[in-house]
A and B are shown apart, each in its own frame.
Chain A
Amino acid sequence: MKEKFEEKIWGENNAFSMTKKIWLVIGSLVAGICTGLFGGGGGMLIVPLLTTLYGLEQDKAHATALATIFPLCCISSIFYLVGAGWEYQNGLVVSLGVVVGGIVGSFALRKIPKRMLGVIFYILMIGGGVKMIIG
């Protein structure tokens, strides 16, 4: 009965056990804190959650993570704009660049060697992080 129910809900993902569900929810809570506190970066945590706990393929996990953090960022930006305001002129110029880059990135998702790009990107991240900690 229970297995049938699981199968109905999860289809081919019926290996999605209770333990995995709990970890997925805990991970989501943490990703939510990061998105709210740091204004981004939640997607980076959600992708591995979706691949390891939910069993999505890499490409699907990336796309789903993006759709997942969209509502989070909507809520977050409202809190930020109300709480601190925004230099909209500069901000809009950067946003324009982000939109252009986003379109390129979406089309390239299936064509670019992601691991190589990932390695370069993560090294840049570590460097940036260390610079910010030192100040």
Chain B
Amino acid sequence: MQYLWMIVAGVCGGIIGGMGMGGGTLLIPILTILLGWSQLAAQTTNLVAFLPMALVSIVIHTKHKLVDFKALLWVTLPALATTCVASFVAPKLEGDLLQKMFGWFIAVVGVVMLGKTIFDWIKSKSNKTKMPPKSKSKSIF
């Protein structure tokens, strides 16, 4: 039964992650709040689980020609440097502190992203009444 909930948690995180929306920000709170895992265990699991999932997703996205490799280099190279430092520090921090920091992180990012999503949504709706939709993402709504 315990394993069933773990799989359900994984599938939820995976769907969001496969869409490139940051599945970890969903998977980690599910694991810690609902299943009672420690923050560090949830983070480690999220990192490791992401690897095979991302590989499959990247292959599919590359086939659909959705991956822009020039943009990829610009973002990956600087980020690699800071990731090394931060992931060296994280396991040494106290669990409670790490969880609080993570809480602030997802709360702030959540508020900003929610605001941006709603703002874009309203903007694209008001545009739609004036002119025909141009891009694919606008035509969904």
Contacts and interface: CB of A to CB of B under 8 A. Distances in A.
> Do A and B truly interact?
yes
Interface of A: 9-10, 21, 24-25, 27-50, 54, 56-77, 79-81, 83-84, 86-87, 90-91, 93-110, 112-115, 117-119, 121-126, 128-133, 135
Contacts of B105: 34, 38, 41, 129
B13 A64 contact: no
A16 to B, nearest CB: 9
Contacts of A43: 17, 20-22, 24
Chain B binding surface, main DSSP class: helix
A98 B100 contact: no
B45 A90 contact: yes
Chain A binding surface, main DSSP class: helix
**Interface range on chain B: under 10, 10 to 19, 20 to 34, or 35 or more?**
35 or more
Contacts of B100: 132-133, 135
B117 interface: yes
A98 B26 CA distance: 11
10 contacts: A28-B78, A48-B113, A80-B90, A83-B88, A90-B6, A101-B16, A109-B66, A114-B137, A128-B26, A128-B29
Contact of B6 (A10, A64, A93): A93
Given A50-B75, A63-B61, A119-B114, A76 B21 contact: no
**Nearest 6 CB-CB pairs, A to B?**
A97-B10, A40-B24, A101-B14, A105-B18, A36-B86, A39-B43
Contacts of B25: 40-41, 44, 125
A44 B51 CA distance: 17
Contact of A126 (B28, B82, B110, B140): B110
Nearest to A87: B41
A135 B19 CA distance: 30
B113 A79 contact: no
B91 A98 contact: no
